[in-house]
Amino acid sequence: MSLSHAILASLSDNTYSGYDLAKQFDGSVGFFWKATHQQIYRELRKLEEAKFINSQEIAQEGRPNKRVFSITETGKNHLRKWITEPTELSTTKEEILIKVFAGHLVPKTKLIQELEHQRYCHQERLTVYKGIEHQFVRDVNADSREVRYKYLTLRRGIRFEKEWIAWYEETINFLAELPED
């Protein structure tokens, strides 16, 4: 599974604690890979056993100590191998499409209501992404290789939110013009 790869990818250019990673999985990498902190801590243990990462206890005043993880050369090679090996297309699971698929069961207006709710959520996410893009553009002068690659993933986020919104428009209009109901 790829949670391990997502963690290794996060650690590929920086060190993080489990807590930091959980936050990353709530933004950044989290935009295309979700995980709870419980999953992350469990996976970190496995990755350390496999010698793909190692950890160091950092004492902190006031706050509880933290364990900071860094990727090993073995871990990097493992990631590199996976990146270059062809993988299948990731499978998507879209609840909204199940809803539309069985949409004939409910009054048209109710379905449209839910479609509008989802469209709104995508709109909000798009705004978040654009904000992040703004930051990126500033950094572009002093940009490192790493940053540019991350920017590409952000671009896909922006494009896809726009595409979702366009499909919602099309779908809502189509339904609005259906005579039934």
Partner DNA sequence: CACTACATGTAATATGTTACATGATTGC
Partner DNA sequence: GCAATCATGTAACATATTACATGTAGTG
Q: Using CB under 7 A, list all residues that contact DNA.
A: 1, 3-4, 17-20, 22-23, 34-39, 41-42, 44, 60, 62-67, 91, 93
8 A C-beta contact, residue 17 and residue 66 = yes
- Single residue of 106, 128, 137, 140 touching a copy of itself by CB under 8 A: 106
CA angle 23, 157, 118 (to 5 degrees): 90
Q: How far is C-alpha 124 from the chain's CA centre? A: 15
- Mutual angle of helices 3-10 and 37-49, in 10-degree steps: 80
Residue 78 touches a copy of itself, criterion: CB under 8 A: no
Q: How far is the CB of 59 from a copy of itself (least distance, A)?
A: 30
Phi-psi group of 160: left, alpha or beta (phi > 0 → left; psi -120 to 50 → alpha; rest → beta):
alpha
Residue 148 touches a copy of itself, criterion: CB under 8 A: yes
Residue listed under structure tokens 């920086």? 14
Contact residues for a copy of itself, defined by CB under 8 A: 2, 5-6, 8-9, 12-13, 29, 32-34, 76, 79-80, 82-106, 110-111, 113-114, 117-118, 121-122, 125, 145-146, 148-150, 152-153, 155-156, 159-160, 163, 166-167, 170-171, 174-175, 178, 180
